[in-house]
Amino acid sequence: MRLNSKAFETEEIMDKQQYIDRAEQVLYKVYNRFPVVFDHGKGVCLYDTDGNEYLDFGAGIAVMGLGYGCPELNEIMKRQAEKLCHTSNLFYNVPAIEAGEKLLKVSGMEKVFFTNSGTEAVEGLLKIAKRYAFNKGMGPDYEIIAMKHSFHGRTLGALSVTGNDHYQEPFAPLVPGIRFADFNDLDSVKAVWSEKTCAVIMETIQGEGGIYPATEEFLQGVRALCDKQDALLLLDEIQCGMGRSGHMFAWQGYHIKPDAMSVAKALGNGVPVGAFLAQGKAASAIVPGDHGTTYGGNPFVCAVASGVLDIFEKRNLVEHVREVGDYLWKKLDEIGDRYDCVKAHRGRGLMQGLEFTAPAGQVVSNALTEQRLVVISAGSNIIRFVPPLVIGPEDVDEMGKRLGAAIEAVFG
């Protein structure tokens, strides 16, 4: 038996395949995982159980904004774990108050509800919309407009507004009253609008659907339409929020403001926490008894969220994302110009994607197993780049070298 200095002293270090075999025996088979067992991380790198170092441009699907092993955040977690982890929402706790105040300050919203995940935050948005319609006396058959090729989560409500048949079909019938429009096509939204429409929900930048930012004309047009028809605009900022676009929230770059929004992922830097926030008529729609959670907003996760927001401000991380995001854009443009297999380049800040002329899964796999570079896909033909927000130009340069080698290995 060898000892793992990074884990418990009695943990036996096994062969990678032994770990994988154990996982296949006990874990529900809902993921097709890559054959890597990660053990620990530091900065913008991950390390597997064999000691190999990987440059991470996936950040746990846009979660690890501060990277791995952030000293300030680790200290916050240790202090709060020793102090108090949970009490329930039958009582107040100071970290929730502080995290809520900071989140409202950077968003300009009025009320916040902490959840355990992003998909639960989306459920909260849908309940706000339905409650708002109910309060207006619209009747039980009100409708919500969502976008094609969107992704909002895996629970039945979030899945109902996810515009992808592949995800929806096995679980039909879903929540009724959802109509789908084409993203970035205002006429398409108007075409499915009816007197029953109570809300529009969309990602400010579509992630899973292919890294498509909303156009300013489209988002402003939908905002104006919602205002005219007294409907709510709900924005999903789970992936594109928390600084990733070069704004704390992506919608802040569009000169509009939603009635309610969801946030998660980088809010907890790996600790499961999400939130939905609302202002005005959306903030007052929900009343006591309408919603709840056992774990959401507990002292531990809120201490972490509060600390994350402090670190963002202290490091001026949003401005850093703008600068290094521009550098990443130039690097990916160079890669696109160099290889004919790259069809398009899209995104903002540190949420960018390269679209290939053929499925890119082999490039993702080769980058991981041969080049020790973590990148993830967004659809079959698109590689998305959502690294820790703390990366520097030198990390972008190294990524470019490794990605180029992976592309050449697959496409020649």
Give residue-wise pLDDT tens across range 262-303: 999 999 999 999 999 999 999 999 999 999 999 999 999 999
Per-residue confidence band for 11, with pLDDT thresholds at 50, 70 and 90: low
Q: Which fold has domain 71-314?
A: Aspartate Aminotransferase; domain 2 (3.40.640)
Average pLDDT over residues 229-250: 98
Hey, is 82 helix, strand or coil?
helix
Q: What pLDDT shows up at residue 170?
A: 94
CATH number of 16-63+317-411: 3.90.1150.10
**What does R_g of the chain's alpha carbons equal in angstroms?**
22
Per-residue confidence band for 10, with pLDDT thresholds at 50, 70 and 90: very low
Cα(128)–Cα(122) distance, integer angstroms: 10
Q: What pLDDT shows up at residue 3?
A: 38
Cα(334)–Cα(337) distance, integer angstroms: 5
Q: Confirm whether 16-63+317-411 and 71-314 share one CATH topology.
A: no
Instruction: Say if residues 186 and 221 touch (Cβ distance below 8 Å).
Output: yes
DSSP sequence for 270-327:
TS--EEEEE-HHHHTT--TTS---SSTT-HHHHHHHHHHHHHHHHTTHHHHHHHHHHH
**CA dist list (Å): 291 to 224, 251, 294, 296, 410:** 29, 26, 11, 11, 50
Q: What pLDDT shows up at residue 412?
A: 82
Residue ranges covered by each domain of the chain: 16-63+317-411, 71-314
Per-residue confidence band for 74, with pLDDT thresholds at 50, 70 and 90: very high
Q: What pLDDT shows up at residue 13?
A: 67
User: Over the chain, what is the mean pLDDT?
Assistant: 95
Q: pLDDT tens, 130-175?
A: 999 999 998 788 999 999 999 999 999 999 999 999 999 999 999 9
Please, which residues have CB within 8 angstroms of residue 173's CB and are 6 or more apart in sequence?
none
Q: pLDDT tens, 321-342?
A: 999 999 999 999 999 999 999 9
Structure-block tokens of residue 38? 């990660």
Q: What pLDDT shows up at residue 12?
A: 63
Hey, is 331 helix, strand or coil?
helix
Q: pLDDT tens, 217-230?
A: 999 999 999 999 99
Q: What pLDDT shows up at residue 1?
A: 29
Per-residue confidence band for 372, with pLDDT thresholds at 50, 70 and 90: very high
